[in-house]
Protein backbone atom coordinates (compact mmCIF):
# COMPACT_ATOMS: atom_id res chain seq x y z
CA UNK A 1 0.00 0.00 0.00
CA UNK A 2 1.38 3.39 -0.96
CA UNK A 3 2.00 6.09 1.59
CA UNK A 4 -0.85 8.26 0.24
CA UNK A 5 -3.28 5.32 0.46
CA UNK A 6 -2.21 4.57 4.02
CA UNK A 7 -2.70 8.21 4.91
CA UNK A 8 -6.18 8.26 3.36
CA UNK A 9 -7.17 5.12 5.27
CA UNK A 10 -5.89 6.61 8.52
CA UNK A 11 -7.73 9.89 7.89
CA UNK A 12 -11.01 8.06 7.19
CA UNK A 13 -10.50 5.94 10.28
CA UNK A 14 -9.90 8.98 12.48
CA UNK A 15 -12.86 10.83 10.98
CA UNK A 16 -15.44 8.02 11.22
CA UNK A 17 -14.34 5.71 14.04
CA UNK A 18 -16.54 7.25 16.75
CA UNK A 19 -19.61 7.44 14.55
CA UNK A 20 -19.23 3.85 13.34
CA UNK A 21 -18.75 2.47 16.84
CA UNK A 22 -21.64 4.47 18.35
CA UNK A 23 -24.00 3.45 15.54
CA UNK A 24 -22.93 -0.20 15.81
CA UNK A 25 -23.37 -0.11 19.56
CA UNK A 26 -26.77 1.55 19.25
CA UNK A 27 -27.81 -1.09 16.74
CA UNK A 28 -26.41 -4.18 18.53
CA UNK A 29 -26.74 -3.03 22.16
CA UNK A 30 -23.66 -5.07 23.00
CA UNK A 31 -20.05 -3.93 23.36
CA UNK A 32 -18.52 -7.06 21.86
CA UNK A 33 -20.81 -7.15 18.83
CA UNK A 34 -20.29 -3.43 18.28
CA UNK A 35 -16.53 -3.98 18.26
CA UNK A 36 -16.91 -6.85 15.79
CA UNK A 37 -19.10 -4.72 13.53
CA UNK A 38 -16.65 -1.82 13.82
CA UNK A 39 -13.79 -4.04 12.68
CA UNK A 40 -15.86 -5.51 9.85
CA UNK A 41 -16.78 -2.05 8.52
CA UNK A 42 -13.18 -0.88 8.39
CA UNK A 43 -12.09 -4.24 6.97
CA UNK A 44 -14.56 -3.71 4.11
CA UNK A 45 -13.19 -0.20 3.65
CA UNK A 46 -9.63 -1.57 3.36
CA UNK A 47 -10.58 -4.40 1.01
CA UNK A 48 -12.88 -2.54 -1.39
CA UNK A 49 -11.20 0.90 -1.46
CA UNK A 50 -14.46 2.70 -2.30
CA UNK A 51 -14.18 5.98 -4.14
CA UNK A 52 -16.28 8.79 -2.74
CA UNK A 53 -17.62 11.80 -4.60
CA UNK A 54 -18.03 14.00 -1.51
CA UNK A 55 -17.54 13.97 2.25
CA UNK A 56 -21.27 13.29 2.69
CA UNK A 57 -21.05 10.34 0.31
CA UNK A 58 -18.17 8.98 2.37
CA UNK A 59 -20.11 9.37 5.65
CA UNK A 60 -23.21 7.81 4.10
CA UNK A 61 -21.13 4.82 2.96
CA UNK A 62 -19.87 4.25 6.49
CA UNK A 63 -23.37 4.54 7.96
CA UNK A 64 -24.97 2.25 5.39
CA UNK A 65 -22.17 -0.30 5.69
CA UNK A 66 -22.37 -0.24 9.50
CA UNK A 67 -26.12 -0.81 9.41
CA UNK A 68 -25.77 -3.68 6.92
CA UNK A 69 -22.98 -5.33 8.92
CA UNK A 70 -25.02 -5.06 12.12
CA UNK A 71 -28.13 -6.49 10.46
CA UNK A 72 -26.14 -9.43 9.12
CA UNK A 73 -24.58 -10.05 12.51
CA UNK A 74 -27.91 -9.92 14.32
CA UNK A 75 -29.63 -12.33 11.95
CA UNK A 76 -26.80 -14.87 11.88
CA UNK A 77 -27.42 -18.32 13.36
CA UNK A 78 -24.43 -17.93 15.66
CA UNK A 79 -25.92 -14.76 17.16
CA UNK A 80 -29.29 -16.46 17.59
CA UNK A 81 -27.70 -19.38 19.45
CA UNK A 82 -25.67 -17.09 21.70
CA UNK A 83 -28.71 -14.99 22.60
CA UNK A 84 -30.54 -18.12 23.68
CA UNK A 85 -27.72 -18.84 26.13
CA UNK A 86 -27.40 -15.33 27.54
CA UNK A 87 -29.94 -12.84 28.78
CA UNK A 88 -29.94 -9.75 26.55
CA UNK A 89 -30.52 -7.60 29.63
CA UNK A 90 -27.10 -8.48 31.04
CA UNK A 91 -25.56 -6.52 28.14
CA UNK A 92 -27.20 -3.20 29.02
CA UNK A 93 -23.90 -1.65 30.02
CA UNK A 94 -23.82 1.88 28.71
CA UNK A 95 -20.72 3.57 27.37
CA UNK A 96 -19.20 6.27 29.55
CA UNK A 97 -21.79 8.49 31.15
CA UNK A 98 -21.71 10.69 34.18
CA UNK A 99 -25.17 12.18 34.45
CA UNK A 100 -27.97 9.89 35.66
CA UNK A 101 -30.65 11.71 33.64
CA UNK A 102 -28.51 11.43 30.52
CA UNK A 103 -27.93 7.73 31.23
CA UNK A 104 -31.69 7.23 31.58
CA UNK A 105 -32.24 8.96 28.25
CA UNK A 106 -29.58 6.81 26.55
CA UNK A 107 -31.12 3.67 28.02
CA UNK A 108 -34.59 4.76 26.87
CA UNK A 109 -33.24 5.21 23.33
CA UNK A 110 -31.51 1.82 23.45
CA UNK A 111 -34.70 0.12 24.66
CA UNK A 112 -36.58 1.30 21.58
CA UNK A 113 -37.36 -1.22 18.85
CA UNK A 114 -34.82 -1.07 16.02
CA UNK A 115 -37.19 0.69 13.62
CA UNK A 116 -37.33 3.68 16.00
CA UNK A 117 -33.84 3.47 17.51
CA UNK A 118 -31.85 3.79 14.27
CA UNK A 119 -33.70 6.86 12.89
CA UNK A 120 -33.50 8.53 16.34
CA UNK A 121 -29.76 7.90 16.44
CA UNK A 122 -29.18 9.21 12.92
CA UNK A 123 -31.36 12.28 13.49
CA UNK A 124 -30.17 13.38 16.93
CA UNK A 125 -26.65 11.99 17.19
CA UNK A 126 -25.45 12.14 13.59
CA UNK A 127 -27.58 15.21 12.73
CA UNK A 128 -29.00 13.87 9.49
CA UNK A 129 -32.16 15.39 8.05
CA UNK A 130 -35.31 13.33 7.59
CA UNK A 131 -34.68 13.23 3.83
CA UNK A 132 -31.12 11.99 4.30
CA UNK A 133 -32.23 9.30 6.76
CA UNK A 134 -34.96 8.19 4.36
CA UNK A 135 -32.35 7.87 1.62
CA UNK A 136 -29.90 5.98 3.84
CA UNK A 137 -32.53 3.53 5.11
CA UNK A 138 -34.34 3.23 1.77
CA UNK A 139 -37.67 4.38 3.22
CA UNK A 140 -40.14 7.18 2.55
CA UNK A 141 -39.66 10.48 4.35
CA UNK A 142 -43.14 10.18 5.86
CA UNK A 143 -42.17 6.78 7.31
CA UNK A 144 -39.07 8.28 8.92
CA UNK A 145 -41.10 11.20 10.32
CA UNK A 146 -43.60 8.75 11.80
CA UNK A 147 -40.83 6.59 13.27
CA UNK A 148 -39.17 9.66 14.81
CA UNK A 149 -42.47 10.83 16.30
CA UNK A 150 -43.35 7.40 17.70
CA UNK A 151 -39.82 6.92 18.98
CA UNK A 152 -39.95 10.24 20.84
CA UNK A 153 -43.34 9.29 22.31
CA UNK A 154 -41.98 5.95 23.52
CA UNK A 155 -38.95 7.65 25.06
CA UNK A 156 -41.20 10.15 26.80
CA UNK A 157 -43.40 7.36 28.19
CA UNK A 158 -40.35 5.43 29.41
CA UNK A 159 -38.89 8.48 31.13
CA UNK A 160 -42.25 9.37 32.72
CA UNK A 161 -42.61 5.79 34.06
CA UNK A 162 -39.07 5.94 35.41
CA UNK A 163 -39.75 9.28 37.06
CA UNK A 164 -43.01 7.99 38.59
CA UNK A 165 -41.15 4.94 39.95
CA UNK A 166 -38.45 7.18 41.47
CA UNK A 167 -41.08 9.37 43.16
CA UNK A 168 -42.99 6.32 44.44
CA UNK A 169 -39.88 4.66 45.85
Domains of the chain, by residue range, sit at 1-93, 98-169
Per-residue pLDDT tens listing for the chain (169 residues):
677 778 888 898 999 999 999 999 988 888 888 999 999 999 999 888 888 899 999 999 999 999 999 988 887 755 544 444 444 444 444 444 445 666 788 888 888 998 999 999 888 888 889 999 999 889 999 999 999 999 999 998 988 888 777 666 5
Q: What DSSP character marks residue 121?
A: I
139-162 b/e with 16+ CB inside 10 Å = b? eeeeebeebbebbeebbeebeeee
The half-sphere exposure of 53 on its side-chain side, counting CA atoms within 13 A, is 2
Right CATH for 1-93 from 3.30.420, 2.60.120, 1.20.272, 1.10.1740: 1.10.1740
Establish whether domains 1-93 and 98-169 are of one fold.
Answer: no
Q: What DSSP character marks residue 80?
A: H
Q: How far is CA 158 from CA 23, 72, 112, in A?
A: 22, 29, 10
**3-state secondary structure at position 71:** helix
| Burial (CB count <10 Å: 0-12, 13-18, 19+), residue 44 | middle
Right CATH for 98-169 from 3.30.1390.20, 3.40.50.1480, 1.10.10.10, 3.30.70.2750: 1.10.10.10
State residue 39's pLDDT score: 94
> Quick check: pTM over 0.85?
no
Amino acid sequence: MKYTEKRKVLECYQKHKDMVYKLAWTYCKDNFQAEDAFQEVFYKFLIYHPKFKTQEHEKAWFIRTTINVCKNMLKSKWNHDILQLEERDSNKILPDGTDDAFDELKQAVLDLPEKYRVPIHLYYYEEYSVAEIADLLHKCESTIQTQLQRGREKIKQTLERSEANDVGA
